[in-house]
C-alpha cells in the first residue's frame, strides 16, 4: 500500500523514454496500470526495448490493437497499427521479454478461468465471459446510472462506443458494444441478485488464441437500469467525440458529460464495490455435451480500505508478476494469460487468490 516501506515512488513522465529506461534497469518485473492507450503503449515499447519483463492490466491485447478511439496511441514511423502490435511481439521475443498482456480481472481472471474450462473439455464450442465491477446494491441507489467509478471512467465510455470483435458461427465478426444484452440471476456464494450484461471488448486475445470456437463473447455486468441509461445517452449524442461549438466554445459531448457526471459517480463516504463473474464454456466431454461454469463474488475489504476492484485486479497482477519473477512463466513475447497460466500454474494462481480471500467456484454439469 502507499506509505509502505516496501514502496519507492519515482515521479516521471512515461513519455520521457530515457528516464523511463534508466528506472527500468533497476527492476526485474514491471506492472502497468496506466489508464489509456497512449501511455500504455509508450511504457510497453520502452519495457520491451529495455528488456524488462512486464504485466499489464489494460483490456487491450497489444499484439492485435483495435483501431477504434486510439486515445493518442503513437505507432512506430512507417507502421500501421496492426504492424506495430506484431512488431512489439517480435521485439519482445528477440529481447527475451515476457509480456503477460491483460492480467487483472477482465482481462485476467476471466481469461484464465475460461481457458481452464476449455482445457477441461475434449472439444469446446462456445464460451461466454460475464464479468463486472459494480457498486454495492446500497451504493448503487446513490449514484446516476447505478454505477460508481472504480477505474478510469473515460476508458469505460470508450468501451461502450467502439466496435467489438466476437466469434459467431465460427467466424470473427464485429458488433456494436452494448449489444446482445442478457439478464440473469446470480445465486452463488449465498447471493440472489438480478444482474444484466452486454458485450464489451474485455478479452480480445481470445479471438487470436481460440479462433476454433463457434461462439465467443465477453460481456460486462451491471445492475439493471445501467445499460438503458447509457443507451439513452448514446442516442442523445452525449457519448460522441466529434466536437460541437456553442457560443464560440468547442467541446465534444463526451468530454462535457465527463466533466458533469464524474463527480456524481465518485464513491461517497461508506460506499463500497463488488466484483462479480460468471463464465461459461460449453462443449463435448466423453461423447456428451457438458458446461463448465466459473463464479466469483468479491466485496471490498473495508478493514484495510481496499476496493474489490483493486483486490481482483491488483492481486492478480501481483501474482502474475511474481510468477514471472520466480521463473515459473517463461514464455517470451506478448503472451495473454490463458496461454501461460494453466496446469500447475493455474492451481498456484487460484490458490494464491484464495489466500487473499478471493474465491473462484468451478462447476461442471452434463447438458441434456
Note whether residue 73 is domain-resident: no
Neighbours of 219 (CB within 10 A): 28
Residue (of 286, 321, 258, 341) closest to 122 by Cα position: 286
- The model's pTM is 0.93
pLDDT digits (tens, 9 = 90+) for 207-242: 999 999 999 999 999 999 999 999 999 999 999 999
pLDDT digits (tens, 9 = 90+) for 83-142: 999 999 999 999 999 999 999 999 999 999 999 999 999 999 999 999 999 999 999 999
Note whether residue 61 is domain-resident: no
Is residue 206's pLDDT more than 90?
A: yes
Note whether residue 67 is domain-resident: no
Domain total of the chain = 1
pLDDT digits (tens, 9 = 90+) for 345-362: 999 999 999 999 999 999
Q: In whole angstroms, what is the distance from residue 66 CA to residue 160 CA?
A: 14
Note whether residue 193 is domain-resident: yes
Q: Which domain holds residue 178?
A: 109-306+357-366
Query: Which pLDDT does position 368 carry in this prediction?
Result: 84
Residue (of 240, 280, 57) closest to 160 by Cα position: 240
pLDDT digits (tens, 9 = 90+) for 298-325: 999 999 999 999 999 999 999 999 999 9
Note whether residue 3 is domain-resident: no
Note whether residue 231 is domain-resident: yes
* Angle, in degrees to the nearest 10, between helices 226-235 and 153-161: 70
**3-state class percentages of the chain: helix first, strand second, coil last, to nearest 5:** 35, 25, 40
CATH of the domain at 181: 3.30.360.10
Note whether residue 202 is domain-resident: yes
Note whether residue 320 is domain-resident: no
Amino acid at each position: 500500500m502507499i506509505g509502505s516501506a516496501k514502496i519507492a515512488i519515482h515521479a516521471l513522465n512515461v513519455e520521457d523514454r530515457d528516464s523511463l529506461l534508466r528506472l527500468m534497469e533497476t527492476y526485474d518485473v514491471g506492472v502497468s496500470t496506466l489508464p489509456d492507450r497512449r501511455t500504455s503503449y509508450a511504457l510497453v515499447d520502452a519495457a520491451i526495448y529495455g528488456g524488462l519483463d512486464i504485466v499489464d492490466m489494460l483490456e487491450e491485447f497489444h499484439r492485435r490493437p483495435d483501431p477504434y478511439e486510439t486515445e493518442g496511441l503513437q505507432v512506430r514511423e512507417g507502421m500501421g497499427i496492426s504492424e506495430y502490435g506484431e512488431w512489439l511481439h517480435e521485439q519482445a521475443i528477440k529481447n527475451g521479454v515476457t509480456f503477460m498482456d491483460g492480467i487483472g480481472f477482465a482481462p485476467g481472471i476471466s481469461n484464465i478461468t475460461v481457458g481452464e474450462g476449455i482445457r477441461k473439455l475434449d472439444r469446446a464450442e462456445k464460451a461466454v465471459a460475464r464479468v463486472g465491477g459494480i457498486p454495492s446494491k446500497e451504493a448503487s441507489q446513490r449514484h446516476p446510472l447505478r454505477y460508481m467509478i472504480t477505474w478510469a471512467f473515460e476508458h469505460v465510455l470508450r468501451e461502450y462506443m467502439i466496435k467489438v470483435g466476437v466469434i459467431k458461427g465460427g467466424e470473427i465478426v464485429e458488433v456494436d458494444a452494448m449489444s446482445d444484452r442478457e439478464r440473469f440471476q446470480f445465486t452463488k456464494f449465498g447471493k440472489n441478485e438480478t444482474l444484466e450484461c452486454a458485450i464489451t471488448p474485455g478479452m480480445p486475445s481470445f479471438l487470436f488464441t481460440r479462433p476454433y470456437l463457434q461462439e465467443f463473447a465477453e460481456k460486462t455486468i451491471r445492475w439493471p437500469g445501467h445499460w438503458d441509461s447509457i443507451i439513452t445517452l448514446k442516442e442523445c449524442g452525449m457519448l460522441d467525440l466529434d466536437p460541437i461549438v456553442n457560443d464560440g466554445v468547442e467541446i465534444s459531448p463526451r468530454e462535457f458529460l465527463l466533466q458533469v457526471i464524474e463527480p456524481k459517480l465518485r464513491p461517497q463516504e461508506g460506499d463500497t464495490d463488488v466484483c462479480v463473474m460468471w463464465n461459461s464454456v460449453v462443449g463435448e466431454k466423453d461423447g456428451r455435451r457438458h458446461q463448465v461454469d466459473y463464479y466469483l463474488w468479491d466485496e471490498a475489504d473495508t478493514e484495510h480500505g481496499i476496493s474489490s476492484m483493486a483486490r481482483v485486479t491488483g492481486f492478480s497482477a501481483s501474482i502474475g508478476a511474481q510468477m514471472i519473477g520466480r521463473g515459473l512463466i517463461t514464455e517470451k513475447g506478448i503472451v495473454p494469460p490463458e496461454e501461460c497460466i494453466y496446469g500447475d500454474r493455474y492451481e498456484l494462481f487460484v490458490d494464491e487468490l484464495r489466500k487473499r480471500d478471493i474465491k473462484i467456484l468451478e462447476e461442471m454439469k452434463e447438458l441434456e
